[in-house]
Structures are given as C-alpha cells and as structure tokens.
Chains A and B, each alone.
Chain A
Amino acid sequence: NAGVTQTPKFRILKIGQSMTLQCTQDMNHNYMYWYRQDPGMGLKLIYYSVGAGITDKGEVPNGYNVSRSTTEDFPLRLELAAPSQTSVYFCASSYSAQANYEQYFGPGTRLTVT
C-alpha cells in the first residue's frame, strides 16, 4: 500500500492564482482530512469528509473548497491565493472517526504565496 499520497510536494503561487492540492489514499478509509501547519504551530483542520459525497468544515475553512467524489480522492482547492495561505498542508485518512482509529498522514505540500 502507498498509504496517503499528496501532490505536489512544493508549489509557489502568486497572489490571486488558484490551484488544487491532490490527496489519494489506497486504504479504503472512509474519513479524510485536510490540515494546515503554520510555522511553529500544530496542525489545524481545514475540511474533512466522512465518506464520498460528504464534506464538512473544520476550524479554518475560509479560502478553501473540497470535494469527495470517490473514496480514494479528496482534493483541496484554493481559489484566490493569499499570503496568509502560505503553509504546509497535510492530508490524512482514517477508517473511522472513532478516536481509537489512527489517522494516517501524507507527506505534506509546502505552499508559498507571494
């Protein structure tokens, strides 16, 4: 199993540009998550999904959109990039939201908006 994969690994965007961060998992997990990690901080939840076709906002959803058309994929869309969105983005998945199920993380995408 590849686990959770993310593309790209690095990206530089100009203010106002758009992009999609890709996330794929091959573990048949129902739950998927997007986090951002700002320098010196822990991870904050942007959006999450409990299954195909179902998404919900996390702690910091403004400026982002998600979709979940398949169990495997959970892309994160930035429509109008702003410097405040400079961060490292992590995708994660888990079999269930029950707390005893581990979240598996992807390797992260480092995004810089200038």
Chain B
Amino acid sequence: AQTVTQSQPEMSVQEAETVTLSCTYDTSESDYYLFWYKQPPSRQMILVIRQEAYKQQNATENRFSVNFQKAAKSFSLKISDSQLGDAAMYFCAYTSDNTDKLIFGTGTRLQVFP
C-alpha cells in the first residue's frame, strides 16, 4: 500500500526567507502524481503545486518549487520569499492512475514571522 510521510509537524520561517518542507512516500508504482496542498486557517484546501513522476523537471509555481527525487522517493516543497499569507498547514499527497483516491500525509504547520 502507498504511504505518505511528513516528518516535520511544525516549521517556522522569517518573512522574505526561504523554507523547505519535507515529504517522503512509498509506492511500488512507476507512474504516479504528487501534490502539495495548503490549508490556511479558513480550512479551505488549496492546490499549491503538482508533479508528475514521469517528468524529470521539477515543478515550479511562482515562489513555490519542488525537489522531486524519484529514486529516493522524496518530494520536498521550497517556498521562497516567504510571506505572512503563506502561514498554513501544508499537506503532501499521492495518487496514481491505478487508484481513485488521494493519499495524504499528516501535514506540516508553517509559521511565518515578520
């Protein structure tokens, strides 16, 4: 069975600095998709970034980028130039075309200090 592990319950960063959130996963599949979701205090789940396993190039969305290491089964999220609005819970998630569901990690709470 696939699993997703986020080993950092909490992280903090100074405004304008860079922070990296870690995620590892376990799967026997070769084709799959990885996601980072943001959950601010409003509870709304917002897709931040997605990575297709068959793509070697790391995904980037503005200040958000990933470091996808397929062999190591690692999928970290880098937030550059952190802003106060980045404060939230961040969830790593996995899915594949062989499953109809998203498998979530337990989340990392990110605090951003001015």
Contacts and interface: CB of A to CB of B under 8 A. Distances in A.
Interface in B5-37: 9, 32-33
Given A99-B32, A100-B33, A90 B45 contact: yes
Contacts of A50: 100
A107 B41 CA distance: 11
B83 interface: no
Contact of B104 (A43, A48, A99): A43
A41 B102 CA distance: 14
Contacts of A27: none
Interface string A61-97: 0000000000000000000000000001010100001
A99 B104 CA distance: 14
Contacts of B93: 42
Given A90-B45, A100-B33, A105-B44, A42 B91 contact: yes
27 contacts: A33-B101, A41-B107, A42-B4, A42-B91, A42-B93, A42-B104, A42-B106, A43-B45, A43-B91, A43-B104, A44-B104, A45-B102, A56-B100, A58-B101, A59-B101, A88-B43, A97-B100, A98-B97, A99-B32, A99-B33, A99-B97, A103-B47, A103-B102, A105-B44, A105-B45, A105-B46, A108-B44
Interface of A: 31, 33, 40-45, 48, 50, 56, 58-59, 88, 90, 92, 97-100, 102-103, 105, 107-108
Interface of B: 4, 9, 32-33, 42-47, 50, 52, 91, 93, 95-97, 100-102, 104-107
